[in-house]
Structure 1
């Protein structure tokens, strides 16, 4: 009986941690569908967080590449008075980048839900 109680307590703690992390992520960034993302894309700072090779292989037109590996050093080049739209391969890096931006006082932060993997819009590549 004690073993089941310990397992139950561990599960409750894990669920609580996941919920808290989820709420923190929601506070840091608003996830936009592709249609919502496209609406204001030309009026924002569009940032691709993937590595240079992936960016050159194909990126959303108008995006600038700031790989996550260098993001902490280069994020200060982003303006605080203009919305920031983030995207990566699947959305995970965008959440991390948004958290870093929040800590530096940025407030108007959005991300492409599910990343560029699901993108059906136009793409620019170095080959084209």
Structure 2
């Protein structure tokens, strides 16, 4: 009795690689981690990177070095879209704030404008109760 082969029909899907000359780099620098998103001018996300994706875990995600690697990964992914100009939007008080700009300059990206979007409360919510040390 001959052996029968069972093959599955697989579709090969090719991604349409868009060419985007100018984009936006959103850096969210929290105390715990750094998140970076690269979008086109309409705000459609092209690629992203986080400190966790870069291989850092726990408290090492909150270091400036982790932020450096995260921004470098995002820029390298953005180069796949032929991006050379970026506007930078920075949000949050974390260690990745100023590191992002240094990495952009070192990688040779042209920066159009830099915007600080850190939310500033107008005396918002009530603070937590004080801890009682015994």
Bigger share in helix: 1
TM-score (norm 2): 0.36
Which structure is higher in RCO with an 8 Å CA cutoff and minimum separation 6?
1
Bigger share in strand: 2
Which of the pair has more CA radius of gyration? 2
